[in-house]
Amino acid sequence: MITLIVKVNVEPDNYGDLIYETKIAQKQTLLEPGCKGYTINRDLENPSGIVLIESYDSEMAIEYHKTTPHFLKWRENVQPYMASPRTSVKYTSI
């Protein structure tokens, strides 16, 4: 399994909008083949920080996710809400 940790810093005035868009994408992502989990987390030390934890059964599932209409729509819709570009790191289960 591969876990993808995505960090997003949100403009404070746009926090609610980003969460709304992300919850829509989360519901659709959880239905994708190969998606094993997707949680939306708020950084306790940085209230404008959001961490998405996504788990997939393969690299192919991640690549598929990046081509889905809901991911592409999410990426476009939340871009204006971000205080800085999002970052991501991949991990594998041991």
Mean pLDDT in residue range 11-32: 96
Q: d(Cα 58, Cα 4) in Å, to the nearest integer?
A: 11
Q: d(Cα 57, Cα 80) in Å, to the nearest integer?
A: 31
pTM for the whole structure: 0.92
pLDDT for 55? 98
Instruction: Name 68's Cβ contacts closer than 8 Å, sequence gap at least 6.
Output: 28, 29, 32
pLDDT for 63? 96
Q: d(Cα 90, Cα 5) in Å, to the nearest integer?
A: 6
Instruction: Tell me the CATH number for domain 2-92.
Output: 3.30.70.100
| Chain segment 61-70, per-residue pLDDT in tens | 999 999 999 9
Domain ranges of the chain: 2-92
